[in-house]
Amino acid sequence: MAPSTGDVQLTSPASGEDSDDLEDVRLLDSYDKNDVVHDETKRIQVRITGMTCAACSNSVETALRSVHGITEASVALLQNKADVVFVPGLVKDEDIKNAIEDAGFEAEILPDSGAVAHGGAAAAVVGQFTIGGMTCAACVNSIEGILRNLNGVKRAVVALATSLGEVEYDPNVISKDDIVAAIEDAGFEGTFVQSNGQDQIVLGVSGVYSLGDAQVLEAMLSGTKGVRQFRFDTAVNELDVVFDPEVISSRSLVDGIQLGSNGRFKLHVRNPYARMASKDGSESSTMFRLFISSLFLSIPLFFMGVICPHIPLVYSLLLWRCGPFLMGDWLNWALVSVIQFVIGKRFYIAAGRALRNGSTNMDVLVALGTTASYAYSVCALLYGALTGFWSPTYFETSAMLITFVLLGKYLECLAKGKTSDAIKKLVELTPATALLIAKDKGGRTVEEREIDSLLIQPGDTLKVLPGTKIPADGIVTWGSSYVNESMVTGESIPVSKEVNASVIGGTINLHGVLHVQATKVGSDTVLSQIISLVETAQMSKAPIQKFADYVASIFVPTVVVLALLTLLCWYVAGALGAYPDEWLPKNGNHFVFALMFSISVVVIACPCALGLATPTAVMVATGVGANNGVLIKGGDSLERAQMVKYVIFDKTGTLTQAKATVTVAKVFGGMDRGDFLTLVASAEASSEHPLAKAILQYARHFHFFDESSPTSDTKSASEDYKSGWLYDVSDFSALPGRGIQCFIDGRRILVGNRKLLEENGINISTEVENFVVELEESAKTGILVAYDDILIGVLGIADPLKREAAVVIEGLQKMGVIPVMVTGDNWRTARAVAKEVGIQDVRAEVMPAGKADVVRSFQKDGSIVAMVGDGINDSPALAAADVGMAIGAGTDVAIEAANYVLMRDNLEDVITAIDLSKKTFFRIRLNYVFAMAYNVVAIPVAAGVFFPWLGIKLPPWVAGACMALSSVSVVCSSLLLRRYRKPKLTTILEIVVI
User: What is d(CA 234, CA 449) in angstroms, rounded to the nearest whole number?
Assistant: 30
Q: Note the pLDDT tens digit of each residue in 363-397.
A: 777 787 788 778 878 887 887 777 776 777 777 77
Pairing of strands 864-869, 883-887: parallel
CA distance 506 to 67: 47
Domains and CATH numbers, the chain: 40-108 (3.30.70.100), 123-192 (3.30.70.100), 456-520 (2.70.150.10), 521-631+910-983 (no CATH), 632-654+800-909 (3.40.50.1000), 659-702+726-796 (3.40.1110.10)
Residue 905 and residue 656: Cα distance in Å, rounded?
A: 11
Considering 12-26, 717-731, 814-828, the range whose residues carry the highest mean pLDDT is: 814-828
Q: Does the pLDDT at position 226 exceed 80?
A: no
Which bin fits 945, alpha (ψ -120 to 50), beta or left (φ > 0)? alpha
Cα(708)–Cα(841) distance, rounded to whole angstroms?
37
Question: How does 26-53 read in b/e, with b if 16+ C-beta sit within 10 Å?
Answer: bbeebbeeebebeeebbbbbbbbbbbbb
Q: Does 650 participate in catalysis according to the annotation?
A: yes
pLDDT at residue 864 tops 80 = yes
Dist CA 660 CA 784 (whole Å): 16
Count of Cβ atoms closer than 10 Å to residue 661 Cβ: 15
Question: What's the pLDDT score for residue 636?
Answer: 77
Q: Residue 48: which residues within 8 A CB-CB, separation 6 or more?
A: 60, 75, 80, 81, 82, 100, 105, 106, 107
Residue type, 625: G
Q: Taking Cα atoms as reference points, which of 341, 339, 358, 338 lies closest to residue 349? A: 341
CA distance 772 to 782: 6
Marked catalytic residue, from 549, 650, 825, 915: 650
Question: 3-state SS of the chain: helix, strand, coil percent to 5?
Answer: 50, 20, 30
Residue 203: pLDDT band with limits 50, 70, 90: confident
Backbone angles phi, psi at 951, to 5 degrees: 70, 20
What's the gap between Cα 438 and its chain centre?
36
Average pLDDT of the residues in 682-710: 74
Does the pLDDT value for residue 115 go beyond 50? no
* CA atoms 126, 128, 129, 135: torsion sign: positive
H-state helical runs in 685-726: 690-704, 717-722
pLDDT at res. 714: 39
Q: Average pLDDT, whole number, for the chain?
A: 77
Q: Measure the CA–CA gap between 890 and 884, rounded to whole angstroms.
A: 13
Specify the pairing of strand 781-787 against strand 790-798.
antiparallel
Average pLDDT over residues 689-717: 63
148: helix, coil or strand?
A: helix
**Per-residue pLDDT tens digits for 712-740:** 343 444 444 445 678 888 888 888 778 88
Region 876-904 average pLDDT: 76
- What is the per-residue pLDDT for 36? 37
Tell me: pLDDT of 742 over 70. yes
Q: What is the mean pLDDT of residues 261-283?
A: 68
Residue positions counted in the chain: 994
Strands (E), 113-234: 125-132, 153-159, 164-169, 189-195, 200-206, 227-233
Is residue 655's pLDDT more than 80? Answer: yes
pLDDT (0 to 100) of residue 274: 57
Cα 371 versus chain centre, distance: 42
pLDDT average, residue stretch 600-613: 74
For residue 343, the 8-state DSSP code is: I
Beta carbons of 822 and 648 less than 8 angstroms apart = yes
Residue 11 pLDDT level (bands cut at 50, 70, 90):
very low
CA end-to-end span of the chain: 71
960 pLDDT exceeds 80? no
The C-alpha torsion from 221 through 223 and 226 to 228, rounded to 10°, is: 60
Walk across the sheet containing 227-233 and list its strands.
8-11, 227-233, 238-243, 200-206, 266-269
Q: Give the phi and the psi of residue 11 in degrees, each rounded to 5.
A: -135, 150
Range from 192-201, 340-349, 792-801 carrying the lowest mean pLDDT: 192-201
One-character DSSP codes across 439-488: E-TTS-EEEEEEEEGGG--TT-EEEE-TTSB--SEEEEEE--EEEE-HHH
CA distance 206 to 767: 81
Q: How confident is the model at residue 24 (pLDDT cuts 50, 70, 90)?
A: very low
- Per DSSP, which regions of 856-964 are E strands? 864-869, 883-887, 900-902
Q: What is the pLDDT of residue 785?
A: 92
Its pTM surpasses 0.75: no
Q: At what angle do helices 327-338 and 362-387 cross, to 10 degrees?
A: 160
Strands of 147-289, DSSP E: 153-159, 164-169, 189-195, 200-206, 227-233, 238-243, 266-269
Residue type, 496: S
The pLDDT score that the predictor gives to residue 221 is 82
Specify whether the CB–CB gap between 824 and 847 falls below 8 A: yes
Task: Check residue 820 and give its pLDDT.
Answer: 93
Any idea what DSSP says for residue 320?
-
pLDDT of residue 56: 66
DSSP 308: G
User: 821 has which bridge partners?
Assistant: 649, 842
- How do residues 892-926 score in pLDDT, each as one tens digit? 665 666 778 888 778 888 999 999 999 988 888 88
The mean pLDDT of 867-895, rounded to a whole number, is: 76
Q: Nearest 5°: CA angle at 739, between 738 and 744?
A: 140
Q: What b/e readout covers 70-108, taking b as 16+ CB neighbours within 10 angstroms? A: bbebebebeebbbbbbbeeeebeeeebbebbeebbbbbe
Confidence of residue 7 (pLDDT cuts 50, 70, 90): very low
**Res 383: pLDDT:** 75
Query: How confident is the model at residue 826, as a pLDDT?
Result: 80
Cα–Cα distance, 406 to 363 (Å, whole number): 11
Model confidence pLDDT, tens digit, residues 469-521: 888 888 999 888 888 877 666 566 788 888 888 888 888 888 889 999 988 87
Say if CB 222 and CB 253 are below 8 A apart.
no
> Which range is most confident: 34-43, 436-445, 484-493?
436-445
pLDDT top residue among 659 and 834: 834
Share of the chain above pLDDT 90, in %: 5
Beta strand 481-484 pairing with 495-497: antiparallel
pLDDT at 866: 92
The residues near 3 (Cβ < 8 Å, ≥ 6 apart) are 208, 210, 211, 213, 214, 234
Q: Which one is predicted more confidently, 750 or 928?
A: 750
- Model confidence band, residue 647 (pLDDT cutoffs 50, 70, 90): very high
Across the range 607-633, mean pLDDT stands at: 78
Q: Which residues contact 817 (CB under 8 A, 6 or more apart)?
A: 644, 645, 646, 647, 914
Stated as kind and residue range, the H or E segment containing 502 is: strand 502-503
Q: Give yes or no for a contact between 514 and 476, defined as CB atoms under 8 angstroms apart.
A: yes
Summarize the confidence of residues 589-600 as an average pLDDT: 79
Please, is 718 exposed, middle or buried when counting C-beta atoms within 10 Å of its C-beta (0-12, 13-18, 19+)? exposed
H or E element at residue 842: strand 841-843
Sign (positive or negative) of CA dihedral 25, 27, 29, 32? negative
Distance CA 426, CA 411 (A): 24
What is the DSSP code (8-state) at residue 802? P
Q: How far apart are CA 782 and CA 767, in angstroms?
A: 14
Phi, psi torsion values for 41, nearest 5 degrees: -105, 165
At 148 the pLDDT is 85
Q: Is the pLDDT of residue 38 over 60?
A: no
Report which of 360, 343, 629, 354 is spatially closest to residue 486, judged by C-alpha positions: 629
- Would you say 711 and 501 are in contact if contact means Cβ atoms under 8 Å apart? no
